Amino acid sequence: PSSAGKHRTSQKTPLYSFKNIPVSNYLYFALQWNKRNNLLSHHLIVLNYLICTFDKLKSVSSEDIKITDAVFDGVEVRVFEPPAKGDESLKRSVVYIHGGGWALASASSLYNNLCRIMAESLNAVVVSVEYRLVPKVWFPEQYHDALRATRHFLQPDVLAEYSVDPSRIAISGDSAGGNLAAAVCQQLSKDEDLPVRPKLQALIYPVLQAFDFNTPSYQQNMNMPVLPRYVMINYWIDYINGNYDLAHELLINNHTALNVGRALSFRARLNWTSLLPPSFKKNYKPVVQRMLLGLGPAEQFAPLCPGSGTLR
């Protein structure tokens, strides 16, 4: 982020209008109001506390799944191991990175049951990464946590400890976790010293790009409950510890290049909308960028933006 985006500035309280706003967004507006008035230390801390408090689960094993907490290269993980079946010696495995806007949820709360069910239904060893969250850390620390934990797990002696088949390992994640999973996979694909590589990646509604906040899906769902477009933009800003004054620039795609030519060249290479069938585009109206600033190293920050060779 630019020097202007490194520090948040105090502002006068905006007068929000709650007319026609979905009920599910009231909490977000309340937390935003409190945050801007310094009544809460940080809205994400409070929101994450509410989410995790109601679903905090200890690592309790059962007859079906063994659950243990471990530390992989300084990163906390929760490991789900199904029992051996018959003559099976090695199991497949999934490294799972949870979603939550790089700021919410936990491997030990909302994603505990998901990973347990995944381990049981797939008969796979599931490693759920407990990466650090905003506002304790910002980009690229979430990425570094996920990468370190995954690299540690891929070491032959660690795979042997958990009876994992080195040729049957997947990396998966949802939402912001899909962003981290894709970025980790891209880095691992270039790591020449890595003895074992993932077999595949499985991305679940991943957040892969911050280049265009006016894609057909953003335009069609800009006011949908739970995750309207302005909330997604604020998650991106929180991720880079940026300045909320820039939110409007992101909203109108005025944030991606220092000059028009560079923006147009980048768009020509990454014109994802052209790949959509007409039924998905509906009333799509492209919003062309003008100028402002780059958000961060593309391959780590927005995994859909690297060169074509990496994606292949």
* Catalytic annotation, residues: 175
Kind of pairing, strands 66-72 and 75-81?
Answer: antiparallel
Distance CA 91, CA 271 (A): 40
Determine the Cα–Cα distance for residues 167 and 181; give it in Å rounded to an integer.
18
Q: Is 143 exposed, middle or buried (0-12, 13-18, 19+ CB in 10 A)?
A: buried
Q: Cα separation of 164 and 21, whole Å?
A: 48
CB 73 within 8 A of CB 151: yes
* Cα 288 from Cα 60, distance rounded (Å): 52
Do 180 and 174 meet the contact criterion of CB atoms below 8 Å apart? Answer: no
Distance CA 267, CA 23 (A): 36
DSSP code, position 1: -
Orientation of helix 43-53 relative to helix 26-36, angle to 10°: 140
| C-alpha span between 210 and 218 (Å, rounded) | 12
CB-based contact 80:65 (threshold 8 Å): yes
Q: Say how many C-beta atoms besides its own lie within 10 A of residue 30's C-beta.
A: 14
Distance set, CA 204 to CA 102, 188, 238, 296, 301 (Å): 15, 19, 22, 23, 17
Name the one residue in this structure whose structure tokens are 């909330």. 231
Residue 197 is which amino acid? R
Residues ≥6 apart with Cβ < 8 Å to 17 = none
SS3 call for 142: helix
